[in-house]
């Protein structure tokens, strides 16, 4: 029994979850895409799940949206290569990689994308011209991007951060069962 319990706990150590918010979500989602498409040596079976909050590379159909339906896409997707110029103009390291051509691969059904319909970082207009017209004050006036802990309008009945905590608890409890 002790040996069996040791093996079970050891297996748990090599299973993991990825989460990230905003730029952290972009990084976590890129890692998830690499794992799900076998570009890393980490086996996809070791990933319990991925939860991304305000992913700037979010695209409908890549991952699961547990909240309200969204019509837009991530800001990096809309701006794509032309967005790199914003980094030069603003003096930042913005690169705007654009869309993930191969999504999350086999992790697609274990990847959750949470985004407020009003957050231009993850739900930007698909038209760059419209985005620029509507978003000229974005960088100084996007309070919704910092309100996921209190915003009840992302996932009905809860906040996005509470949803992620409950999702993780369920993953962990299921893996330990």
User: Contact, 54 vs 25, CB < 8 A?
Assistant: yes
User: Is 22 assigned a catalytic role?
Assistant: yes
Q: Are 46 and 14 in contact (CB under 8 A)?
A: yes
The catalytic position among 29, 33, 116, 119 is 119
119 flagged as catalytic: yes
Structure tokens at 35: 């794992």
- The active-site residue, picked from 33, 55, 116, 145, is 145
Residues 6+ apart with CB under 8 A from 107: 32, 33, 35, 36, 44, 47, 50
Exactly one of 22, 29, 33, 125 is catalytic; name it: 22
Q: What single DSSP character describes residue 121?
A: T
Burial of 119 (0-12, 13-18, 19+ CB in 10 A): buried
Q: Which residues are catalytic?
A: 22, 119, 145
């Amino acid at each position: 029994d002790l040996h069996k319990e040791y093996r079970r706990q050891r297996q748990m150590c090599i299973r993991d979850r990825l989460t990230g918010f905003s730029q952290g979500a972009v990084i976590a989602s890129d890692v998830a895409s690499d794992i799900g498409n076998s570009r890393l040596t980490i086996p996809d079976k070791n990933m319990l799940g991925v939860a991304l909050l305000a992913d700037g590379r979010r695209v409908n159909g890549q991952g699961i949206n547990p909240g309200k339906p969204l019509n837009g896409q991530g800001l990096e997707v809309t701006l794509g290569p032309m967005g790199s110029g914003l980094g030069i103009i603003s003096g930042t390291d913005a690169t705007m990689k654009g869309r993930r051509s191969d999504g999350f691969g086999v992790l697609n059904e274990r990847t959750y994308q949470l985004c407020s319909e009003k957050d231009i970082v993850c739900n930007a207009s698909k038209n760059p011209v419209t985005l620029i017209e509507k978003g000229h004050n974005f960088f100084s006036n996007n309070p919704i991007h910092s309100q996921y802990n209190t915003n009840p309008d992302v996932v009905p009945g809860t906040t996005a951060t509470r949803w992620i905590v409950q999702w993780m608890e369920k993953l962990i409890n299921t893996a330990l069962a």
